[in-house]
Homo-oligomer: A and B are copies of this chain.
Amino acid sequence: MAKLYFKFGAMGCSKTAQALITKFNYEERNMKVLLLKPAIDTRDGATVVKSRIGLMQDAIAVDAGEDLFRLYAEKYADCDVIIVDECQFLTPEQVDELADIVIQKDVPVLCFGLSTDFTTHLFPGSKRLFEIAESISEIKSVCTCGAKATVNARLDDDGRIVTEGSQVCLGGNDRYVAMCRKCWLKYRSQGLPVTDRT
C-alpha cells in the first residue's frame, strides 16, 4: 500500500536536493513523477524547483485554493508518484487531498519541507502532515556548534535574530539560518549578530 511521507528538515538541510534526487531515482526506474510546489513560493520562478547545490527541475505550481486530488485525477493520473517541495506552504485541506490520492489511487506522495517557522511554530501544512502522514522522517543538518540544527532563525539586516513578524516573508531583506536551539536562545538573549556563522 502506498504511503504519505513527510520528510522535514531545517533551512539549508538540502530538502530540495533530496526531492530532486528522489524524482531522479523514480524516473530511472521508468516511473512518472508529478513534481508540485505551492505557488506562494516564487523565489525561483513560478514553476522551477531549485536546490542550492545546483539541481533544478520544472514543477507544477499550485495555488492555495487548488484541489490537488482533482488536479491529479483530471490531469496527471498517469503519474506513478507525487513529490511536493516546500510542502509547509500547502493548506491543511491540500494535505488531506494528497492523503486521499494515497489511499484511493495507491500512489505514494512524498512531501519535503520545513516543519517550523522562525518563531518555532509549525506551518499549517506541516502540522497537517505530522497529523496524518504514514511516514515521518527528518533530514538532519548540523549547527556550526556541531549539534543538530532544529530552529530556523530569521535574521535582520544586522544579523540579529528576529522573533516577530509575519510567518511567511520570502521576498524581504531578512535571511534565515538553521541552528540548534541552544545557540538560538543564546544569540537571541544576547542580541548579538550571528553573521560570523553564515
A contacts, CB < 8 Å to B: 1, 12-14, 17-18, 20-21, 24-26, 28-31, 52-55, 99, 103, 115-116, 120-122, 127, 130-134, 136, 138, 141-144, 147-148, 150, 180-182, 185, 197
Residue of B nearest to A4 (CB): B181
Residue of B nearest to A22 (CB): B14
Please give the count of copies of this chain that the complex contains.
4
> Contacts of A144 on B, CB cut-off 8 Å?
29-31
Write the nearest CB–CB distance from A197 to chain B, whole angstroms. 8
Quick one: which of B52, B134, B150 contacts A24, CB cutoff 8 A? Answer: B52
Q: Are A99 and B21 in contact (CB under 8 A)?
A: no
> Contacts of A120 on B, CB cut-off 8 Å?
131-132
List 19 other contacts, CB 8 Å, given A26-B142, A28-B52, A31-B144: A12-B25, A13-B25, A14-B21, A14-B25, A21-B21, A24-B53, A25-B142, A29-B142, A30-B144, A54-B55, A55-B55, A103-B182, A103-B185, A120-B132, A132-B150, A132-B181, A133-B150, A134-B150, A136-B136
Q: Are A130 and B130 in contact (CB under 8 A)?
A: yes
Instruction: Offer 7 A-B interface pairs, CB within 8 angstroms, sorted by A.
Output: A14-B24, A14-B25, A29-B144, A53-B55, A55-B55, A122-B130, A132-B181
> Contacts of A138 on B, CB cut-off 8 Å?
136
> Contacts of A26 on B, CB cut-off 8 Å?
142
Write the nearest CB–CB distance from A183 to chain B, whole angstroms. 10
What separation, in Å, do the CA atoms of A147 and B108 have in the docked complex?
12
